[in-house]
Every structure is written in structure tokens, then in C-alpha cells.
Chain A
Amino acid sequence: MSTKVEKDQVSGTDTTGHEWDGIKELNTPLPSWWVYVFWITVIWSVGYWVVYPSWPTANDYLKGMFGTTNRTELHETMASVAAERAPYMERLAALDVSEIANDSELLNFSMAGGKAVFADNCAPCHGTGGSGNPGFPSLQDDAWLWGGTLDAINQTLHVGVRWDANEDTRFNDMPAFGRDELLERDQIDDVVQYVLSFTDRATDAAAADRGAVVFEENCASCHGDDAKGIQDLGAPNLTDAIWLYGGSKETITETVMNSRRGVMPAWEGRLDEETIKMLTVYVHSLGGGQ
């Protein structure tokens, strides 16, 4: 390297000797404050390695002085949230759902908490707002298969529907009248015409009349003589405008032929009691609660 140092004519500063396309690099020293800050950050980073988890070792990593990890920070944050919620949770634990719904403070707390729990656990089937999907009941309307009171909702949440792992589970079983050859095909067509006649949709009045007999013998025991359903059995009302699987002639025929068997998990044991209570109050508040 050359020892001769060229001076820039304009600024009077030494150049480094580097030149690109006639442009020469000045050897301007950094401001001293800048250099000090740089060295302070270097020292700071060494301290950082010591205090916080840093270098990986063969099977492990350096833990740092205070064992700080994001995981413990998360646990601390969650613990502080839980501590804030604790007084509410205690009150939730002590009261039953109808008492909770009557306490405006707890009602708001449960609706907010229940909304989050609903989004995590229920929304995949029932939709984000509880508006339902084909085969998964809307929780916003006023039709309730197993009852829409706070207690009934609470019970359904606990035990689930056709959830084999829970011995108290909500259970009913509609026979597959076609597949299991319990009824002839024309009997099924007749009874479907009869069901359609409840809402004035039958296309064959004679078939509907014949279907009435079939209905009385095979369906009325669960759905009631007036076809308005029996909630204790989870049998839906067939005379209203709400159809879980669809109310067209084809889907009703399909239902009678092969039956339907929707399943909901029991949340007992998966969610704690207080959370189920919050969820109950939230679902009840969605608009369809009785």
C-alpha cells in the first residue's frame, strides 16, 4: 500500500486512495460520538449474551442469568390475565347459569369470554356468528332440537350429542327407513308428500293422505302426532320453516331413506366448568335462547 496520502483539493481532507470513475473516496473520520455509541452497543451486546439466552451448545443452549425465555414470559402474561379474571371466574363458579345471565356485569363478561371460546371451539361447525351450516344447527334462530333454555344449552354443551364417550350424551336415533327396508319406496314417497303438506308444499294430495297413515305408524312416536316435534327426544318440529338438512323433497326423502346422525362433542372435561357457563350464556344471547 502506498504511503503517500493524497489530499482532496476542495475539502482539504485526506483521501483513502480508492477511486471509481474519477470519484475519490475521502478519508473522513467518523464523529466521535458515533464511535462511542458503537462501542457502547458492542459492550451492551456482550451483556445481552450473558443476561439473556443466547448461544446454542451441543444439546442445549446458554440459559442466561435469569432464565428469561419467551415461554416464561408468556406464562407470566397468561398468569396475570388469569389473575385479573379470577374474581369473575370465582363468581361464575359459584352461580348457576340463570343467575349469571341476570347479573349484568357477569352477563357482559360471559358474552365477551364466550364469544372468544365459541370462535375457537364451535365456529368450525356452527359458523363464526353461530348462524349454522347444513347439518349443523343455527344457534341464532328459535328452533332448538334439545331445548334452548340456559339449562338445556348448558346440558347439551356438557354431554354433547351422540358422543359415545359420554354416557349421558344427548342421544336419539332415527331409523333408516329405506336402507334398512322398514318401509317400501312408495310408502316413503307418500310420507314425504305428507311432510311437505305441513307447509302446503305437497304436489300429490292423494299420496299425502296415504302418507298420513304411514306417519302415524312410524314417525309420530318421536315427532308427535301433530309433527311439531318432541324436544325431550331431540326430535325436530317438521311443521316450521327451519330445516337442519334442507326442506326440499329430495333432501327429506334422503333423510327418511338413510336417516341422519349429526354428532357434537361433549365439552365436559375439555373446557372447564366456568368456560362452559360463559359459552352457555353467550350461545343463549345469540338470539334464539328460550
Chain B
Amino acid sequence: MAMSTLQQPDIEPKNVPHIVDEGDYDEVPLYKKRDKVYPKRVSGRFRNLKWFALIALLGIYWVVPWLRWDRGPSAPDQAVLIDMDLGRAYFFFIEIWPQEVYYITGILIMAAVGLFLATSLFGRIWCGYACPQTVWTDLFMLVERYIQGDRNARVRLDKSKWTLEKIWKISATHLAWIVISMATGGAFVLYFHDAPTVMVDIFTANATFGTYVTIAFLTGSTYLLAGWAREQVCTYMCPWPRFQSAMLDDESMIVTYESWRGETRGPIKRKNLMRGEVPETGHCIDCHACVNVCPTGIDIRDGLQMECIGCGLCIDACNEMMDKVGFPRDLVRFDSVQNSQLRAQGKATRVRIIRPRTIIYAVLLVLVASVMMFGLANRSVLELNVLRDRNPLFVALSDGDVRNGYTLKVLNKEQSEKTYVLSLEGIDATDFQIIGLTPNQDGTYDLDVAPDRVGSFRVFVAADPQTLDGKSTPFEFTVTDKETGNTETYDTVFAGPENDR
């Protein structure tokens, strides 16, 4: 490497810093390698809850695309469907058009506020029980445990040399993960097409490129996130742990370690207990059962931490041990910080659900839900949009009248073909015509619109400038459903020359 002779780097021995003491900065590494977490099998109340959530949520995910719902001839008979081609979202009896996307906004707001409310009441139960990352990781761990054995066996297997047994156990695990991942990615695309059709298409290589790309992407991300990344997703990738503490207060129910009771921790000798001696140490026997079962690899005895997903498995593990040694249960418990302190002082505990923040969240939730329900209940099955020509604003006709052009969009959101009667209100039109249609006897027009479609019509209206208000005369278009009498109006204006009247 050519080095400038003018500016020799100043690295004379006298300027070299003192001999580095290796020990100094070993304490504060700049990068920490991941300590692989080997969660131990556990059973108990919270584990059962978690199994229930796992089965219910995965069941919903894989079953919902197969639920049928009569959608008439215009859409696949699928209960939950996001039809990208036609731009419709179906959810059982609800149908959403692209311009009604504010319903999605409402659902997102409700989801957020619901999450805040649940967190302020019960801590991170979303993270521990319902988050897809948790659910799929739990499923992957189940597979892993089934093939490779429990914690100790897995630690041993990872440390052992590559034997035939290790090879088949590891490859069987990954194969099973990939199969689950493919089923995950495969089920996702079913929400966007007719499930039975697209299922056949996928296996006969007839599905679209986008379908295969989506499946491949979700297969890859599921395998990577649930198989490899696991708790690192919660710790490093997810924003929610960073600010969820803002939803908590002293009375939120969280996973707590009763340090007043547990400390000082230390092993306990059974024979001393049998003799009825009161141990000098606290109730925590320092068995690490709570640490060994933790899916994020933390020690709950260090207090509430960002990594804690509030799943409560440590409670199950600790209770199992407390039962064995004969101490009261719930050394680690699902309770509020306040109650933990009250108990330490020997005072009565209380659970208060109704608190200022829960009231605010609940009221917000009810409010948004009401607005949504009102919107849905009053959702119109007929909509009319009018686009007025602006080039030119108006056309002068040979008899001195002026004419305006409009494009009418009639949205028929029903499952049957509809005929609407179009009329004008509030203007003294000398001529009213629609390209390609002939008028009725009374000068109105019949507009036919196919089921679940938008009808587009070119409309011309002419008027005598003397009867107009001037540059801009307001009037309205009215469409009326011939069968039901359902009516929609659209206020627009008729542009004309400025007159001296």
C-alpha cells in the first residue's frame, strides 16, 4: 500500500498506548452472540391456556378459508375473502369496496386500542398467547421436543458429534418445520382466492406466479422466524416491547416474582424441613426451573423485563417445585406490582379492573366500535358518483343553449342485476341525453348495472342560459332502484356563461 511520505503516521513506540489489559473490555462486549434458549417442557394452568390458544388460533387460521358463504354469481362462495382482482373484501355478511377502506382503518384502530386495554389489564397476554410469532414458535418447539427430546436431551444433542442419530433427528426436525411453514404460506394465499380452486391450482402447477412467490416468501419467513430467530424477534425486531410499558400501571396484572418472600434464595435441605426447622433462606430454592422453561431465556427473578412476553410458564414451573418442597404456591405469580407490595407488608390485596386508563381505553373501544357498527348498518347498497367535465366547462350550442357533460358512476353493491331510473332535479333542462341509451316517456333514463359492479354512463344536459343562475347552477342527479325504491342523489352544478341578469 502506498503511504504518503509527507505525513508519516505517528506510530512510534513511545506513542503506542499502554499494553492493553484484555480483561478490561471483556466485561463489555460490543456484540453478544446469541445464547441459544432450550425451553424445558412444563405443565400447569398457564401451559394449558397456551395449548388452548395455540389450537384455537392455528385452527382459525387453517380452517377459515374453507368456510363457505353464498355470494351469488359475482364472487367465489367464500366467507372470508380478499379479492384483489375485483377489489372487494368479504367477511361473512360484510362486503367492503375499495372506497370503503375506512372500515379497515376502524378495525386497525380497534385492534390497537383493544391491545392497549388488554395490556393495561393483563400485561402482555397478546405476546404470550396470541401473537403469531409466539404461536408458531410454540408449535415449532413442540415438534422439536417431540423429535429431539426435552431440554437436557437437546443440549446434549447440540453438543454431541455428528452421529447418524443426530443427523436424522436434526433433519427430521427441519423437514417438519419446513412442512409446517409451507402449510402456513399455502394457507395465506387461500384468503385471496377461492380456496378449493387455488388449492388444486397450486398442486397442478396452474397457480399464478404471485401465488407461488407469496407461498415461498411466507414459507421462508415462517421457517426463519419460528425455527431460528424465535425470541430474538421479540427482543430485537418487534417494536411492541419497547413501548408496551406505557400501557401498564401498578395495578396491571403481570408475571411477578415475590422477592420479599423468595429472597434470600438458596438451596434447601429436605431433611432440615422434615425436622421442622425454619429455613434461614427465603422460599426461592434457586432451582432455575423458571429460567429453564422461559421461551425468551430470561430470569423472572430479576424483575419485569422487556424480553418477558408474559406467558406465565415460569409460574407453572415454580408451582411444580413449590409443591415438591412443600412451600406455598405462587412464588412467581400473575398479579399486580401493587399487590405484591401489599402482601409484603401483610396488607389485604385487591384487584381493580376499573381504573382511569382502562376506562379511557374501553370508552375509546366502544366509541370506535359504535361508529363502525353504525357505518355498517347504514351501509348503502347503491352509490352514485358524478364527475363533471372540465374540458370544456360548457359547450355553447347552435340555438344559444349551453350544454354540460357528466360521467356517472353507479355502484350496484347487490348480488343481482339492477335497473335504476335516472332523473334530474333542480334544473330546467332543455335536453337530457345519455350516450347509447334511449329515454323513457317522461324523459328519465333506465340504467342497467350488473350485480356487484360499477356502471359508467356519459350524460349530457343542456339548458337555456337565461334560466340559469349564472356561472354555476346547483342541481342534483337522482337514481332510484326500480324494485326497492332505494334512492341516491348526487349534488353537482351546471356551468354556464356569466349572464347579466
B212 on the A face (CB < 8 A): no
**How does the 8 Å CB contact mask read for A270-290 relative to B, with 1 for contact and 0 for none?**
000000000000000101100
B30 on the A face (CB < 8 A): yes
Contacts A6-B16, A131-B391; A101 near B436 (Cβ below 8 A): yes
Contacts A19-B9, A19-B10, A287-B460; A12 near B435 (Cβ below 8 A): no
8 shortest interchain CB distances as A-B pairs = A240-B398, A129-B391, A17-B9, A131-B392, A140-B395, A241-B400, A9-B17, A143-B398
Q: How far is the CB of B359 from chain A (nearest CB, A)?
A: 51
B3 on the A face (CB < 8 A): yes
B325 on the A face (CB < 8 A): no
Distance A138 CA – B398 CA, assembled complex (angstroms): 11
Judging by beta carbons under 8 Å apart, are B436 and A12 in contact? no
B405 on the A face (CB < 8 A): yes
Judging by beta carbons under 8 Å apart, are B20 and A12 in contact? yes
Q: How far is the CB of A281 from chain B (nearest CB, A)?
A: 10
Q: Which residues of A contact B (CB under 8 A)?
A: 1-2, 4, 6-7, 9-12, 17-19, 101-102, 104, 107-108, 127-129, 131, 138, 140-143, 237, 240-242, 285, 287-288
List, in ascending order, chain A residues with CB within 8 A of B398's CB. 141-143, 237, 240-242
List, in ascending order, chain B residues with CB within 8 A of A1's CB. 1, 3
Distance A142 CA – B25 CA, assembled complex (angstroms): 89
Known: A2-B9, A2-B11, A131-B395. 14 other contacts (CB 8 A): A10-B25, A107-B436, A108-B456, A128-B391, A129-B391, A129-B392, A140-B392, A140-B395, A141-B395, A142-B397, A240-B400, A287-B395, A287-B460, A288-B395
List, in ascending order, chain B residues with CB within 8 A of A128's CB. 391
9 pairs from A and B in contact (CB 8 Å cutoff): A4-B11, A4-B16, A7-B16, A10-B25, A107-B436, A129-B392, A131-B395, A141-B398, A143-B397
B399 on the A face (CB < 8 A): yes
Distance A104 CA – B450 CA, assembled complex (angstroms): 13
Judging by beta carbons under 8 Å apart, are B20 and A9 in contact? yes
Chain B, range 9-28, C-beta contacts under 8 Å to A: 9-11, 13, 16-18, 20, 22, 25
List, in ascending order, chain A residues with CB within 8 A of B9's CB. 2, 17-19
Q: How far is the CB of A18 from chain B (nearest CB, A)?
A: 7
B389 on the A face (CB < 8 A): yes
Distance A140 CA – B393 CA, assembled complex (angstroms): 11
Nearest to A129 among chain B residues (CB) is B391
Contacts A19-B9, A140-B395, A241-B400; A285 near B20 (Cβ below 8 A): no
Q: How far is the CB of B97 from chain A (nearest CB, A)?
A: 21
List, in ascending order, chain A residues with CB within 8 A of B8's CB. 2
Distance A251 CA – B403 CA, assembled complex (angstroms): 25
Judging by beta carbons under 8 Å apart, are B396 and A241 in contact? yes
B355 on the A face (CB < 8 A): no
The A interface is mostly helix, strand or loop, or mixed, namely loop
Judging by beta carbons under 8 Å apart, are B395 and A285 in contact? no
B458 on the A face (CB < 8 A): yes
Distance A259 CA – B10 CA, assembled complex (angstroms): 93
- Most A CB contacts (10 A, CB to CB) among B18, B395, B436 go to B395
List, in ascending order, chain B residues with CB within 8 A of A18's CB. 9
Q: How far is the CB of B15 from chain A (nearest CB, A)?
A: 8
Q: How far is the CB of B266 from chain A (nearest CB, A)?
A: 38
Judging by beta carbons under 8 Å apart, are B458 and A17 in contact? no
Distance A240 CA – B9 CA, assembled complex (angstroms): 94
- Most A CB contacts (10 A, CB to CB) among B8, B22, B391, B435 go to B435
Judging by beta carbons under 8 Å apart, are A7 and B405 in contact? no
List, in ascending order, chain A residues with CB within 8 A of B18's CB. 9
**How does the 8 Å CB contact mask read for B156-169 relative to A, with 1 for contact and 0 for none?**
00000000000000
Distance A102 CA – B437 CA, assembled complex (angstroms): 9
Q: How far is the CB of B26 from chain A (nearest CB, A)?
A: 9
Judging by beta carbons under 8 Å apart, are A12 and B25 in contact? yes
List, in ascending order, chain B residues with CB within 8 A of A285's CB. 435, 458
List, in ascending order, chain A residues with CB within 8 A of B435's CB. 107, 285
Distance A288 CA – B396 CA, assembled complex (angstroms): 11
Distance A241 CA – B400 CA, assembled complex (angstroms): 5
Judging by beta carbons under 8 Å apart, are A104 and B395 in contact? no
- Most B CB contacts (10 A, CB to CB) among A18, A142, A288 go to A142
Distance A258 CA – B30 CA, assembled complex (angstroms): 91
List, in ascending order, chain B residues with CB within 8 A of A131's CB. 391-392, 395
Distance A140 CA – B399 CA, assembled complex (angstroms): 14
List, in ascending order, chain A residues with CB within 8 A of B391's CB. 127-129, 131
Distance A285 CA – B458 CA, assembled complex (angstroms): 8
Nearest to B433 among chain A residues (CB) is A287
List, in ascending order, chain B residues with CB within 8 A of A102's CB. 436
Contacts A18-B9, A131-B391; A240 near B399 (Cβ below 8 A): yes
Q: How far is the CB of B20 from chain A (nearest CB, A)?
A: 6
- Most B CB contacts (10 A, CB to CB) among A10, A104, A138 go to A10
Q: How far is the CB of A238 from chain B (nearest CB, A)?
A: 11
Judging by beta carbons under 8 Å apart, are A7 and B392 in contact? no
Q: How far is the CB of B288 from chain A (nearest CB, A)?
A: 33
Judging by beta carbons under 8 Å apart, are A4 and B13 in contact? yes
Judging by beta carbons under 8 Å apart, are B11 and A17 in contact? yes
**How does the 8 Å CB contact mask read for B377-392 relative to A, with 1 for contact and 0 for none?**
0000000000001011
Distance A240 CA – B392 CA, assembled complex (angstroms): 20
List, in ascending order, chain A residues with CB within 8 A of B3's CB. 1, 17
Q: How far is the CB of A93 from chain B (nearest CB, A)?
A: 21
Nearest to A139 among chain B residues (CB) is B395
List, in ascending order, chain B residues with CB within 8 A of A288's CB. 395
List, in ascending order, chain A residues with CB within 8 A of B13's CB. 4
Q: How far is the CB of A242 from chain B (nearest CB, A)?
A: 5
